[in-house]
Amino acid sequence: MKIAISAVGPNLDDMVDPRFGRCGFFHIIDSESGEHESFMNESASAGGGAGISSAQTIIDKGVTVVLTGNCGPNAFQVFSAAGIQMIVGVNGNVREAIEQFKTGALKPVSSPNVADHFGSGAGSGGGMGRGGGMGRFRR
């Protein structure tokens, strides 16, 4: 069975990335052979559709289970259609996540756990202060 894990870096001791579609790296572990592959997530900096694109990359690798911190509705729908199990709420480093999975401590979910665009960093703050950036604030 092939397991994909979202991570902040390419090493097994790097932390699990709480974002799926915009994680820095993916690790693919073959639970039978112990084979390990890590690669940079090329969809991380996409303007849109990062979750869908990342999910397709993982599907193309023949993965059957995904471990991540959070998964939004678009990636979740792609994985569901492909029959891939999603496990969210995973934290710690990649090596620990693998062990938790092997011991049965992690369970698949039946729905996404965050809203659309969760990891995109698109905050709503205008950064203009009390005057609204118009030079109107008076004391």
pLDDT (0 to 100) of residue 112: 80
- Domain spans of the chain, in order of start: 1-29+55-103
pLDDT at 8: 97
> Which residues, given as ranges, of the chain have pLDDT below 70?
113-139
pTM for this model (two decimals): 0.79
Q: What is the CATH number of domain 1-29+55-103?
A: 3.30.420.130
* Ramachandran bin of 83, using left for φ above 0, alpha for ψ from -120 to 50, beta for the remaining angles: left
Structure confidence at residue 136 (pLDDT): 47
Q: Rounded distance, CA 84 to CA 62, Å? A: 10
Residue 35: the pLDDT is 95
Q: Taking a C-beta distance cutoff of 8 angstroms, is the pair 4, 11 a contact? A: no
Contacts of 107 (CB under 8 A, 6+ apart): 87
Residue 53's pLDDT is what?
A: 95
pLDDT for 47 equals 81
- The pLDDT score that the predictor gives to residue 116 is 57
Within a 13 Å sphere around the CA of 11, how many CA atoms are in the beta-carbon half? Answer: 2
